[in-house]
Structure 1
Amino acid sequence: MNDLQRLKEMGITVWDVRRPECYPDVSPQPVSLPDDCKLLLVCESKPTEQEALLFSKVLASMKLSVKQALHLPPQAVNLLDKHQLEWCWFAGTQQMDIDGVKMLTSPSLAVLENDQFAKKQLWQQIKQYES
């Protein structure tokens, strides 16, 4: 069994080699999203249970379900393959360009949870696309 198969079996589909010079034969694989994925949450780590509750409330306000959203770490955004995304939400990380996608930025979900002003700014960004 090779290393890529081991990673896949462990559920690790997005990874980054810290010292690529040690692995000349390994190239980053494109990240494929399911066709029903409409929103991509880009942040350093997967939401905690508490953060996931806030995330699901924001999705509901956008008329999206949790099943239509996925998390991706920032270093994997450049590896995106063809997709059907409508939204990309950068939470606590620098925004990157993704053509044809509505972009949202906010502090991390942990900060957003307790910051009413940041929540209001996020809501205004969402509403801006509706008009």
Structure 2
Amino acid sequence: MPKQALQFLNEMDISVWQVRQTEYFATLENSTISLPETCQLLFIASAVPTERDAFLFGKVLASMKLLPEQALFLPSESLEYVAEHHLTWCWFSGVAITELEGVQTLSSPPLSEMHTDTQSRRDLWRQICSYDH
């Protein structure tokens, strides 16, 4: 990636990014994704949560005693590039689970479906509580 583009991302305080159309960057190699030390939960989904989804996501984080700054979104196809991390949780929302050693794993339907599905919210809560032992 050109140095100017990296500088631009840095100025916008973007430390985690993904090139979606790698065919335009022939010299770009698949590299690792470095997560900040403050990241405790990685939210893996096929799409970025909407504003409505963010409200539910915030409620779940609060129940886990986590702040929004301690969570990051990552598309499922990028998980294999995660380098060394300090994660406690990995939440797979509507995508297949990939186990990360030493990380507590949660699985749920997509957030967009959970707004009206009380059972899926209960199931997620039970998963969270199962790690409290």
State the TM-score, normalized to the length of structure 1: 0.87
Identity of aligned residues (%): 37
Q: Assess if the C-alpha contact under 8 Å between 1:16 and 1:75 holds in 2.
A: no
TM-score (ref. length: structure 2):
0.86
Question: Which residue of structure 2 lines up, in the alignment, with residue 74 of structure 1?
Answer: 76
The separation in 2 between residues aligned to 1:119 and 1:58, in whole angstroms, is 9
Alignment check: 8 A CA contact 1:32 1:80 kept: yes
Q: 2:52 aligns with which of 50, 53, 60?
A: 50
Distance (Å, rounded) in 2 between the aligned partners of 1:127 and 1:33: 25
- What's the Cα RMSD here? 2.2
Give 1:30-109 correspondences, 5 Å limit.
30-109=32-111
User: What are structure 2's unaligned runs of at least 5 residues?
Assistant: none
| CA gap 1:37/1:105 in 2 versus in 1, 3 angstroms | same
**Paired position in structure 2 for 1:15:** 19
Q: Which amino acid aligns with 2:36?
A: P
- The count of residues paired between Structure 1 and Structure 2 equals 128
1:85-128 per-position Cα deviation (integer Å, ceiling 9, x unaligned): 00000001111121100000000000112111111110110010
Instruction: Indicate the residue corresponding to 2:5 in structure 1.
Output: 6
Tell me, in whole angstroms, the C-alpha distance in 2 between the residues paired with 1:123 and 1:8: 41
- Which runs of 5 or more residues in structure 1 are unaligned? none
3-state SS of 1:105 partner: strand
In 2, distance between residues paired with 1:73 and 1:29? Answer: 15
Deviations for 1:14-47, whole angstroms, at most 9, x for unmatched residues?
A: 2345659x93x32112111110100000011211
